[in-house]
Amino acid sequence: MTVQTLIAALGVLFLASTVRSALGFGMGMVAMPLLGFLIDVKEATPTLVLLAMGMSILIMGRDWRQADWKALRSLIVGSIVGIPLGVFLLAKAPQEPIVKGLACVVILFALFRLLWRRPLPIRPNLGWDLGLSFLSGSLGAAFGIGGPPIIAYASLRDWDPPTFRATLHGLSLATGAFSLAGHGAAGLWTADVLRLAAYGVPAMLLGLILGRRLNRVLDQAKFRAVVYVVLLILGVLLLVT
């Protein structure tokens, strides 16, 4: 990796970390389309999972009381069950059709929620918990983009921004360890991955600090609007890259 490529990758990791710290999601969705121009997806995915897990440890060490633990338990179970499928997809399956299909779903969902402000007739229950978290675990382990299904799920709940953020980070912390183990078993840990992750720690920490400050200035209505706008942008990025 050249110095120019490394600097560009660190800039991407800083931007992605800021978004994830502020909203509780988005690190993979921001970083993967951009890192795809710089490094191989099989290097980018385990690097992102490692840095995301580190961020979640720091955030949950301080904000664990704000998480919705009842919902979090079922979300963790569904995500962990989905991780082996994701590791298999990363090692064996073509990335493009899966990512493009996900992008279309994300765009349609974000547009619908931006244009239709009334409450949806769907309410989260155990089935939604397990189904969407299974999909999220699979996509997260495969391509580092497990956020959209869980964000869609979380947007159906009446969580305030701190609860939204803490719950998603709690899920990331629990599933990150399993994803990392799966990546190791699949032979995806390399010297380049470990080196980039080490270089990325300062960028992640700076993003964490900036994102926390941004999170504090958003009330619930603004927070939800930002969530859907970011989802729309990320969906378009996934579709066109």
Residue 34 scores a pLDDT above 70: yes
More confident residue, 126 or 166: 166
Residue 202 scores a pLDDT above 90: yes
Beta strands in the chain (DSSP E): none
Question: For residue 14, what pLDDT is reported?
Answer: 93
Q: What is the pLDDT of residues 52-95, one digit of tens each?
A: 888 888 888 888 888 888 888 888 888 888 878 877 777 776 76
Neighbours of 173 (CB within 10 A): 23
Residue 17 scores a pLDDT above 80: yes
Confidence of residue 203 (pLDDT cuts 50, 70, 90): very high
Residue 158 scores a pLDDT above 90: no
Residue 99: domain span: 3-240
Give dist(CA 43, CA 194) in Å, integer.
Answer: 9
Give dist(CA 191, CA 195) in Å, integer.
Answer: 6
Question: For residue 176, what pLDDT is reported?
Answer: 75
- Count of domains observed in the chain: 1
Each as own residue / partner, the long-range contacts of residues 32-40 (CB below 8 Å, 24 or more positions apart, any chain) are: 32/143, 32/144, 32/145, 32/238, 33/234, 33/237, 33/238, 33/241, 34/237, 34/241, 35/9, 36/241, 37/241, 38/5, 38/8, 38/9, 38/12, 39/1, 39/5, 39/9, 39/192, 39/196
Give dist(CA 68, CA 155) in Å, integer.
Answer: 14
Confidence of residue 143 (pLDDT cuts 50, 70, 90): low
Among 12-16, 113-117, 131-135, 229-233, the range of highest mean pLDDT = 12-16
Q: What is the pLDDT of residues 163-201, one digit of tens each?
A: 887 888 888 787 777 777 877 877 778 888 888 889 999
At residue 39, φ and ψ (nearest 5 deg) are: -140, 170
Whole-number mean pLDDT of the chain?
A: 79
Structure tokens at 4: 């120019």
